[in-house]
Amino acid sequence: MVRMFIAVRVSDSVRQSLTSLIGELRNSGADVKWVAPENLHLTMKFLGNVLETRVDEMADAVSRACEGISPFEMSLEGVGAFPSISRPKVVWVGVIKGKDVLINLNKNIEVELEPIGFERERRRFSPHLTIGRLRREGRPGDLADRLSMEFNGGECVVESVYLMKSTLTPKGPIYEELKHATLKHN
């Protein structure tokens, strides 16, 4: 079994902006497991543990989901938390430009995966990039105050969608690309 998810990657310049933001938020004193710079991505759908023999089937479904979607610009702006800023558990950065395309892409992914045994997500997809998770009973420090800051992470062009493998280790997850689908100009 392989732990898999479908993701969109960010450019190096956006990754640098996010890394700087994480550096600032680290000073909050909150007990947060921050995402390593090399692991920063926008999850389109988490698949869980899947038989490794299904990689090609999964990649084909991702390719079909990408049909009719051209490369698009995505901007990352704003910082927030789930379930709320006053009770943060997951710290995220929002998507402004490209949000509608990501929502359509997610719908396509759900449509393509359902017939091959992946239940549709019941929650509405809200494009965001997770940058940290508070540890259980962790200290929130002054994180809530810092989450009201303005943040502009810049823009990047999304040209591909990735089927990723996640291996959990004591030092954190290791992500590997299994396959990718390239968005084509229409």
- Point out the catalytic residue in the list 15, 41, 45, 165: 41
Residues with Cβ < 8 Å from 148, sequence gap 6 or more?
85
CB-based contact 8:144 (threshold 8 Å):
no
Closest CA to 58 of 9, 115, 96, 20: 115
CB-based contact 148:171 (threshold 8 Å):
no
- Annotated active-site residue 180? The verdict is no
Q: Is 99 exposed, middle or buried (0-12, 13-18, 19+ CB in 10 A)?
A: middle
- The DSSP letter of residue 77 is E
- Point out the catalytic residue in the list 128, 146, 165, 180: 128
What are the start-end ranges of the H helices in 27-98? 55-66
Query: Torsion over CA of 97, 103, 106 and 107, rounded to 10 degrees?
Result: -150
- Annotated active-site residue 41? The verdict is yes
Closest CA to 18 of 99, 74, 72: 74
Instruction: Report, as residue numbers or ranges, the catalytic residues.
Output: 41, 128
